[in-house]
Structure 1
């Protein structure tokens, strides 16, 4: 327990032999339940999870609360995805029946945490990149009632920005900007950070069953949280780097997550500003996008006519530019309104 709140940890693991065991054993004593999801690893990850769970249980003299997860064979949505092992101390080993990716493993762990009614659920990677001593900084905003979701932010540290490869930093910056637009959390940075904490209330109401199952699950969750009016805390937390290797293909990652964010953005506008409530910024976004796109198409058509027939370019090009500027103006107004609506939904916690 942490300040009278039960704490669960969701730990996805894919080919993390040599890392996952140390992470399990190094988790803080206040963690009540650890859901370790083996995403069909091809190395010794599963054996290391069970061996580390035994070591962790032997080192813990405190009694562990019974889990409700196995009372009826597990939740149906969970049991369809994975095989749930018998609890070993506070650790519940879970093994996917098929590889589902990082987001899929997080989703499985979230379903398990909901089944056990955890007050706070923290996500921790199995590769040792996350400073476990910083975990209270993520939990405190939730326990204090400042936010329903807290996430780490590595970009507040200059050393991290300097050490990150240029292509990776560019990709992170692009996805950060797209996530700001899609989610409505305009002050939040480093949305790809997987070190997070979420309240039991938010987890039960955000729609975990439909969560994105690729690496962009963090970005997807932010959109869902905003549509439900949840508050988010951006917490400065450094990363730890060692011998671990990333399995992300960044060109594929950026392409797939960008398309997901576009669809989520449209969904958020519909749900938050048309279905649950009404705000004209949704219409501003639609009109601005359509008008700006028409201006771009008009400009391209003007160039085509100019070089195909030799017709004057000035009138057509001027009209196209005017349409583009009007559309861009409406888009900026829409973004400004969106910032104002969500201004009180963001908390930033620095060092």
Structure 2
């Protein structure tokens, strides 16, 4: 059984080595662990830091393409290199590397195809009260759209079986986290959540520049995913809303 841990990176030379040092070297039930980074058009020496550390695979983009495309490129490279399980984590050491064993265990035990790490959002000090509320709200919307019970949909700390990775396809340019849960739920994949720990913040998040931008992009991502998997229901709902608004002005 081969595990490949992938890390999407964009100008992560300062934090990458900390993250890599925290990754597990052995997990019971796993015969081989390898490491892969996706260098998403970095202008610093991210790739050199990874190679010096001993990362097995480096996928490089000449220009920045965004988190979603980096994630998919990583999945493809992991599959081509024989991964039976793929774990995705962040380069800023947000997640505790030792908890990767918690992520892969349900897959090893045949209980899940996809496992999402549930962060202690309400106890995370560097999350503002507004961000905590938005995280909970966004996760609730994803649960409704995907018909799953995942409590932390935006979490990027997750594991995929080989079969699940072969079936995943992200079409938006923003992030993979929400769309892949909707897709997994609608495709009837076995998806499970496990509690995980987080580390102190090393740098500010680069995924969004404002709360409003985060909300807007997240809503659009969920709507696109829902439109793809339940188009008839989506257009019926949209038509009902437009009809109700029109009737209100009659």
Task: Looking at secondary structure, tell me which structure has more helix per residue.
Answer: 1
- 2:195: which partner in 1? 236
**For 2:33 and 2:221, how far apart are their aligned partners in 1?**
34
Pair 286,99 (structure 1): closer, same or farther in 2 beyond 3 Å = closer
Q: Among residues 296, 306, 309, which one is paired with 2:245 in the alignment?
A: 296
Please give the secondary structure, in 2, of the residue aligned with 1:137: helix
- 2:53: which partner in 1? 52
**For 2:150 and 2:166, how far apart are their aligned partners in 1?**
23
CA contact (8 A) 1:22 1:52 kept: no
Structural mapping, 1:314-329, within 5 Å: none
Are residues 1:168 and 2:131 paired?
A: yes
- 2:219: which partner in 1? 258
Please give the secondary structure, in 2, of the residue aligned with 1:37: strand
- Give the superposition deviation at 1:7: 0.4
- 1:200: which partner in 2? 162
Q: Aligned Cα RMSD in Å? A: 2.1
- Give the superposition deviation at 1:147: 0.7
CA contact (8 A) 2:15 2:202 kept: no
Structure-1-length-normalised TM-score: 0.64
CA contact (8 A) 1:8 1:34 kept: yes
Structure 2 regions of 5+ residues with no counterpart?
27-31
CA contact (8 A) 1:183 1:268 kept: no
1:89-141: CA deviation from partner (whole Å, max 9, x where unpaired): x5212211221112221111100011123111000111111101111110011
Please give the secondary structure, in 1, of the residue aligned with 2:60: strand
Are residues 1:122 and 2:87 paired?
A: yes
Are residues 1:177 and 2:178 paired?
A: no
- Give the superposition deviation at 1:289: 4.8
- Give the superposition deviation at 1:17: 1.8
- Give the superposition deviation at 1:43: 2.2
CA contact (8 A) 1:182 1:265 kept: yes
Structure 1 regions of 5+ residues with no counterpart?
54-89, 271-281, 303-351
Structural mapping, 1:28-107, within 5 Å: 28-30=24-26, 32-53=33-54, 91-107=56-72
Structure-2-length-normalised TM-score: 0.88
1:142-167: CA deviation from partner (whole Å, max 9, x where unpaired): 11111100011114x6412x652022
1:31-83: CA deviation from partner (whole Å, max 9, x where unpaired): 52211111111223222112222xxxxxxxxxxxxxxxxxxxxxxxxxxxxxx
- Give the superposition deviation at 1:227: 2.6
**For 1:173 and 1:219, how far apart are their aligned partners in 2?**
13
Give the number of equivalent residue pairs: 243
CA contact (8 A) 2:114 2:191 kept: yes
Please give the secondary structure, in 2, of the residue aligned with 1:32: strand
Pair 133,288 (structure 1): closer, same or farther in 2 beyond 3 Å = same
Larger Cα Rg: Structure 1 or Structure 2? 1
